[in-house]
Amino acid sequence: MPPMPFTLRLLRSLLAATLLCTGIAGAGTPPAAATPGALPLDPVSSPAWIEDMARFAAEDAARPPPMRPVVFTGSSSVRMWPDLERAFGDLPVLNRGFGGSQFRDAVHYADEIAIRYRPRRVLVYSGDNDLMSGRSPAQVAADARRFAARIHRELPGTPVAFIAIKPSPFNAHRLGQQREANALIANWARRQPDVDYIDVFTPMLDADGRPRAELFLADGLHLNAQGYALWRRLVGAYLGR
C-alpha cells in the first residue's frame, strides 16, 4: 500500500486533535486550555476551523514565517486586513486570523495560530461573532481571559493585546453589549502584567455616539480602507510605529 499523502496525514491529525479537544473523542477529558478555577471551555464554534489550521500549516511549509513575529489573530477583521504583514514597516508581522471565529476558537487553536511561532507579542481581535451567536459579555470576557492565560502558560512574559470589539452599523443594536464586554476586558487587562487593551471602539463612534458608517464596507460590518487606516494608526501607536 503506498504511503498516505502528507496533506491527508496532516488533516487527519488535526481532526483528531479537534475531536479530542471538543470532547467528541475521549469524553470527560478536560480541554487543554482550562485554567485552575475556571469553568470548562466550551467546544469550538465550528468544525470548519480545521481547514484553516491546515491552510496555515500549508502556508508555513510553502513560505516559512518570520522569526519571532508579532502575531495578529482573531476573526475576519484580522483575516481581511489588507497588507497587514507590511503595515508596520520592518516589524515582522504574521496574520493568523480566521474569519467567523470566536474567542473560544482562538483558545482551542492557540498552538496553531500563535504559540508555535514563539511570537514577540500577540494581538487578537474577536467578540463580534461571539455576541452575534448569543454569548453574553461575561462569556466573551471570560474567553478572552482564557486566551491570555493559554498564551502565558506556554510563553510566560509574552505581551497579549486585545483589540476592542468594534462598533459597526450592522451591530448598532448591540452597542450596549459591546461596551460591557470591552469594559470587562479593559478593566481586567489593566490589572494584569503583559496584557493590554487597544481602544478602537471610541474613535469609531461619531459625535452622536453612533458607529461611523464611512469606516465600513457596504455590509456595515467589515472595515473598508478608511477603517483599516484608522486601525493602523491606533494599533501602530501601541506598537510604537
Residue 112 lies in a domain: yes
pLDDT digits (tens, 9 = 90+) for 148-170: 999 999 999 999 999 999 999 99
The backbone torsions φ and ψ at residue 17, rounded to the nearest 5 degrees and listed phi first, read -65, -40
Rounded CA separation 237/241 (Å): 6
Q: Please name the helix (run of DSSP H) or strand (run of DSSP E) that holds residue 160, with its range, or none.
A: strand 160-163
**Range with the poorest average pLDDT among 12-26, 104-118, 226-240:** 12-26
72 HSE (CA, 13 A, CB side):
28
**Residue range(s) defining the domain that contains residue 85:** 68-239
- How high does pLDDT run on average in the chain? 88
17 pLDDT above the threshold of 80: no
Residue 7 lies in a domain: no
pLDDT digits (tens, 9 = 90+) for 172-221: 999 999 999 999 999 999 999 999 999 999 999 999 999 999 999 999 99
Q: Which residue reads 509574552 in cell numbers?
A: 158
Residue 21 lies in a domain: no
3-class secondary-structure state, position 149:
helix
95 pLDDT above the threshold of 80: yes
Q: Give residues with Cβ within 8 angstroms of 75, minimum separation 6.
A: 97, 98, 99, 100, 101, 102, 125, 126, 128, 129
Please count the structural domains in the chain. Answer: 1
CATH number at residue 220: 3.40.50.1110
Rounded CA separation 185/195 (Å): 10
Can you give the pLDDT at residue 38? 54
**Residues 101-111, mean pLDDT to the nearest whole number:** 97
Residue 233 lies in a domain: yes
Can you give the pLDDT at residue 39? 59
Residue 106 lies in a domain: yes
Can you give the pLDDT at residue 16? 40
Residue 120 lies in a domain: yes
- 118 or 33, higher pLDDT: 118
Residue 77 lies in a domain: yes
- Which residues does residue 176 pair with via DSSP β-bridges, in sequence order? none
Can you give the pLDDT at residue 71? 98
